């Protein structure tokens, strides 16, 4: 839905912290190109590939979920990585917001499946960027190395068409299925995300989280 962008989609928030110095520096370095579309594509690739996707390290605190935390950690999962892309776009003067959907996730490890006890990942996050008079979805979650290990088609972004998960991988096996669209938000609805995660993923959110001492990259290597 191509509603006109509002001032809120250009403003910093506590979680989409586009005014944070590291985010500003990241945007200045990577927003390269002759127009807004090229700059958005450059930012997308930088967020996608410079920060490893790691669903084992989910910290739902405000400190763990803000965009700048991804830069500090060098990794993140889909929601904070989307927040970083949105924040970097805002820092570069591009209107951006967050979008969310529930997906049936076929990219997983046995340890993650056992912990989640479902293959549905709720509140999957992506960025929504205003380019050439329309909102365009950009999903920077899976870095290129992870795609190569899992045999996935990397998600490309040209600034014109939505960049959303492929339904199949390179071999034709099921990859991602969108099962519910949650809409777009000018800021991250963290309280709602936390409440739903605690309800749906009780074992994952428990103090004795089985993923706490595990390593996602090592599990990926062991199962490929």
pLDDT at 172: 63
Query: Does residue 4 lie within any of the structural domains?
Result: no
pLDDT of res. 169: 58
Does the residue 2 lie in any domain? Answer: no
Average pLDDT, integer, range 129-152: 90
> Which SS3 state, helix, strand or coil, does residue 175 take?
coil
Residue 167 lies in a domain: yes
Rounded distance between C-alpha atoms, residue 9 and residue 94, angstroms? 8
What is the tens place of the pLDDT at every residue in 63-93? 999 999 999 999 999 999 999 999 999 999 9
Q: Buried (b) or exposed (e) across 28-38, using 16+ Cβ within 10 A?
A: eebbeeeebbe
- CATH number, position 149: 3.10.620
Global pTM reads 0.93
Is the pLDDT at 159 greater than 60, yes or no?
yes
Its domain, for residue 165, covers 9-223
Total domains in the fold of the chain: 1
Q: Rounded mean pLDDT of 189-203?
A: 94
Residue 92 lies in a domain: yes
Domain assignment present for residue 135? The answer is: yes
pLDDT top residue among 173 and 58:
58
Where would I find the H helices in the chain? Answer: 21-30, 36-50, 62-65, 67-73, 78-91, 110-116, 144-150, 190-200, 202-205, 216-223
What pLDDT score was predicted for residue 174? 59
Indicate if the pLDDT at residue 173 is higher than 80: no
In a domain, 145, yes or no: yes
In a domain, 119, yes or no: yes
In whole numbers, what is the pLDDT of the chain averaged over residues?
A: 90
> Do 69 and 1 form a contact (C-beta atoms < 8 A)?
no
Residue 120 lies in a domain: yes
Instruction: Look at residue 167 in the predicted model and tell me its pLDDT.
Output: 58
CA–CA dist 6, 155 (Å, integer): 28
Contacts 24+ apart (CB under 8 A), 112-120: 112/55, 112/56, 112/211, 112/216, 112/219, 114/210, 115/201, 115/203, 115/204, 115/209, 115/210, 115/211, 116/201, 116/203, 116/204, 117/201, 117/203, 118/200, 118/201, 120/179
């Amino acid at each position: 839905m191509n509603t006109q962008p509002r001032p809120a989609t250009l403003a910093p928030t506590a979680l989409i912290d586009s005014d944070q110095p590291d985010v500003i520096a990241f945007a200045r370095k990577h927003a390269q190109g002759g127009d807004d579309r090229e700059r958005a594509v450059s930012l997308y690739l930088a967020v996608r590939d410079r920060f490893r996707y790691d669903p084992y390290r989910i910290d739902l605190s405000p400190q763990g979920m803000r965009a700048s935390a991804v830069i500090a950690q060098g990794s993140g999962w889909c929601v904070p990585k989307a927040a970083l892309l949105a924040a970097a776009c805002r820092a570069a003067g591009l209107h951006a917001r967050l979008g969310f959907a529930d997906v049936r996730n076929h990219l997983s490890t046995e340890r993650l499946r056992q912990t989640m006890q479902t293959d549905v990942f709720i509140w999957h996050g992506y960025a929504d960027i205003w380019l050439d008079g329309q909102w365009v979805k950009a999903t920077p979650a899976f870095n290129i190395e992870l795609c190569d290990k899992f045999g996935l088609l990397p998600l490309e972004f040209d600034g014109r068409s939505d960049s959303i998960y492929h339904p199949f991988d390179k071999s034709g096996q099921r990859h991602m299925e969108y099962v519910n669209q949650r809409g777009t938000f000018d800021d991250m609805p963290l309280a709602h995300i936390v409440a739903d995660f605690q309800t749906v993923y009780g074992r994952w959110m428990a103090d004795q989280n089985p993923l706490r001492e595990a390593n996602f990259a090592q599990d990926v290597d062991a199962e490929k």
